[in-house]
Structure 1
Amino acid sequence: MNSQPASTELVERVRNTLALTGAKPTPAHVAAALRADGTVCGDAMVLAVVTALRREALGAGPLDILLAEPGVTDILVNGPDEVYLDRGHGLERALVRTGDDSAIRRLATRLAAAAGRRLDDSTPYVDVRLPDGTRFHAILAPVAAPGTCLSLRVPSRHVFTLDDLVAAGALPPAGTPILRDLLESRLAFLISGGTGTGKTTLLNSLLSLADPSERLVLVEDASELRPDHPHVVRLEARPPNVEGAGEISLRDLVRQALRMRPDRLVVGEVRGAEVVDLLTALNTGHEGGCGTIHANSASDVPARLEALGALAGQPRDAIHSQVASALDAVIHLTRGDDGTRRISEIRTFTRHPNGQVSTTPAVDFHPDNTITLHPPASRFTHHRPDQVGAA
């Protein structure tokens, strides 16, 4: 009995035959299509073709096998048969055949349609969340080269605890009580870092430590946060439809969240004009708010906030004034050359006599698992230095 996987060419021929007759990809219909094609094969090959066709119709096609692998965080397709994945230690080539660009395009179009979005030559890119929570982005050729490109960000299958982060080398053991103290002090904070540094993972971990009596209202562009907490309300933005109507922005949702009695207002990623509404909320009695932000370093966060505020037409002095009153700390994450994600430091916000805001080092986390405490850490550190292992 033939046990080889079905070739792309064979699957394509059977697909075309079934399309002409309107038959479903059942074993009987596939076997009949193979016979009509003059192909001689056994039961195993028939089942392999059926599986391939059903994956194309229902799942993520040839990428399903990668999505099912434990530990995979990202899957990237750069045109025909060029697939990379990230298991948390950097990108590696995956030996998966995707077929030609037409096959990738069909897969991208179907996944976009499943999320209620249009993907074609008039709208050659899409960014959506799939039903299983996977973040899916596609951009079609010839806009993308060497072919249609897909990017899938796979949600974590479980919420990491701080102990898990310690075990993974992302946090020194002595850092656990510091992060707990920061959260319990109900300070407003941002988690900064580059793409793929683990900002959402850390925010999930911290929100899971919030008092069970607190009501968490999460505002996100695409729902990724899944804190292990009994009282969570999620608000998700919606892009405009093909007619350009129906958009619900993050800014709209932040305003709505304020009317929902949040004990903690959380913006999954601060990336635009919604920063003004978030800062306003944190300045009007909504303690303990938090979110993530892209920044190269913790010291760059004030400038990043200033740039985002400019998108909402806010002058520089107004944004710095808001930041000084609204935010207490920023936790910065980095990713090493070996792909290891690590919490590198915590800084507090300091306002200078000229009204401008900068960040001041409060806690440094070193790769050798030691930490250094600076005076601003006393704002949220309730443990003695010897208890947290200060260097």
Structure 2
Amino acid sequence: MSLREDRDVTRGELADLEVVRERLAREPGELTPHRVAQALRGSGRPVGDETVLRVHEALRRDVLGAGPLDPLLRVEGVTDVLVNGPERVYLDRGQGLELTSVRFPDEEAVRRLAQRLAASGGRRLDDASPQVDLRLVDGTRFHCVLAPIARPGTLISLRVPRARGFSVEELLAAGALTRESARLVRAIVGARLAFLVSGGTGSGKTTLLAALLGTVDPGERLVLVEDSSELRPAHPHVVALESRPPNIEGAGEVDLRTLVRQALRMRPDRLVVGEVRGAEVVDLLAALNTGHQGGCGTLHANSAADVSARVEALALAGGLGRDAVHSQLGAALDVVLHLDRASDGRRQLREVAMPERSPDGLVSMVTAWRLAPDGAASEFGPAAARLADRLGGGGGFAEPGVSR
């Protein structure tokens, strides 16, 4: 759909939008079809009711919600809407990025939409503060960087929350899990092992974590800590804390590290950090080392093997020394579940790994199970026997050479 040539606004009517917008700006008031008609006729151009209604709807979208992006946000299964300047708008509904027909009239229209969305979240977005990351009222995560810092124009990223989280069965049907990996992850959760879900951006970490939390015993209390509220586990006892950025005056910030500490005082059966991205990893490791079994979270990493280095870098920034980081990591973490995108764009659980401490005290991740390159078969790794022992045979998982 395009503001230039879609069925809502014709090419001729597009020129009227700016005229009407300027006139309405000079005379503040509610946006109604009657006022739009007055503004159009005041420009000297005779118009019919159909034209008035189309221009009114275009203006309404431009001043409410996500403007011309609203229809894309309502597409079934959409997870992301991405704006690369006025000419290229993409969406992702699970099969990779798709170029849409949505266009903006010009760079100023993109910038105006971005600034309005930022203002709706109480944030400033201008040349002095050209980037913003926040959650909108409906739960959509909004990120923007203004041009000319961004090319080919202002860049907008909208992450759409799912009203209801996926179940493990739905992920199995979608190909994100195989029958074997579905049994395995259920067993990991049931055994109350501490785990991290790793993967790149958009690999499905939050989706898998929410599905796994839905399998937790209903009698357990889940305390979620998130930078931006995205987890929607189907569980009867969930409480959540969400971080808060500084306001326009630079005050009022509540960071994840503070919230992790608060969560520990809320009697969690499972402490969940939606995304570990900073110094809060220090408090999470400490929590997992003090009897909070089954804790979990997500972490950006290119592979399971990279998780140790990623945790080390974050913890060092949080003031924990290298030896202490690896000591805590080896004692706190039981399993890493690594996700990646297949060549066809599908998100898949590709590897399950376990931490192993070397004689020098450093921790590395060793494969217990991995999905074969064909995406169907599975392969055991060196840590398979250890994982089977931790699970006690749960989920039908066994060490190599043992019938399953």
Using the TM superposition, give the Cα deviation of residue 31 of structure 1 relative to its aligned residue in structure 2, in angstroms.
Answer: 1.1
Distance 2:99 2:133 in 1: 23
DSSP 3-state at the match of 2:193: coil
Larger displacement relative to structure 2 (92-101 or 254-263): 92-101
Residue 124 of structure 1: which of 130, 134, 141 is its match?
Answer: 130
Partners of 1:129 and 1:164 in 2: CA distance: 26
Note closer, same or farther for the CA distance 1:184–1:147 as it changes in structure 2 (3 Å cut).
same
Q: Following the alignment from structure 2 to structure 1, what is the Cα–Cα distance between the partners of residues 31 and 56?
A: 6
Unaligned runs of 5+ in 1: none
| 1:243 is the counterpart of 2:253 | no
Give the count of matched residue pairs.
389
Q: Tell whether 2:389 aligns with 1:382.
A: no
Q: Deviations over 1:51-85 (max 9, x none)?
A: 11111222100000100111111111111132111
Task: State percent identity of aligned pairs.
Answer: 58
- 2:239 aligned partner: 233
2:212 pairs with one of 196, 203, 206: 206
Structure 1 residue 33, shift from structure 2 partner: 1.1
1:369 aligns with 2:376: yes
Separation of aligned partners in 2, 1:368 and 1:351: 30
Counterpart of 1:193, as a letter, is: G
Contact 2:199 2:303 (8 Å CA) reproduced: yes
Q: In the alignment, is the contact (CA less than 8 A) between 2:176 and 2:349 conserved in 1? A: yes
Question: Is the 2:184–2:397 Cα contact (8 Å) retained in structure 1?
Answer: no
Counterpart in the other structure of 1:267: 273
CA distance in structure 2 between the partners assigned to 1:242 and 1:4 by the alignment: 39
Root-mean-square deviation (CA, aligned residues, Å) is: 1.9
2:354 corresponding residue in structure 1:
348
Whether the 8 Å contact between 2:163 and 2:232 is mirrored in structure 1 is: no
Q: Distance in 2 between matches of 1:147 and 1:171?
A: 38
What residue identity is the alignment partner of 1:149? L
**CA distance in structure 2 between the partners assigned to 1:158 and 1:365 by the alignment:** 27
Larger deviation, residues 69-78 vs 363-372: 363-372
- Equivalences for residues 312-327 of structure 1 within 5 A: 312-327=318-333
Are positions 1:5 and 2:11 aligned together? no
Query: Matched residues in 2 for 1:344 and 1:390: separation?
Result: 22
User: TM-score normalized by structure 1?
Assistant: 0.95
Flag structure 2 segments of 5+ consecutive residues without an equivalent.
1-5
Asked whether 1:89 is paired with 2:95, we answer yes
> Does residue 82 of structure 2 align to residue 70 of structure 1?
no
Give the 3 Å change call, closer, same or farther, for CA 384–20 of structure 1 in structure 2: closer
Q: In 2, are the aligned partners of 1:30 and 1:50 still within 8 Å (CA)?
A: yes
1:5 corresponds to which letter in structure 2?
A: D
Give the structure 2 partner of residue 338 of structure 1.
Answer: 344
Partner secondary structure for residue 275 of structure 2: coil
Offset at residue 21 of structure 1 (A): 2.1
Determine helix, strand or coil for the equivalent of 1:224.
coil
For residues 201 and 390 of structure 1, the distance between their equivalents in structure 2, rounded to whole angstroms, comes to 31
Instruction: Provide, for residues 28-50 of structure 1, a one-character-per-residue CA deviation record: whole Å limited to 9, x for no partner.
Output: 11111111112233222211111
Q: Classify the secondary structure of the residue corresponding to 1:9.
A: helix
Q: Flag the 1:385–1:308 CA change in 2: closer, same or farther, 3 A.
A: closer
Deviating more after overlay: 362-371 vs 253-262: 362-371
In structure 2, C-alpha distance between the alignment counterparts of 1:160 and 1:390, rounded to whole Å: 31
Counterparts of 2:403 and 2:277 in 1: how far apart (Å)? 34
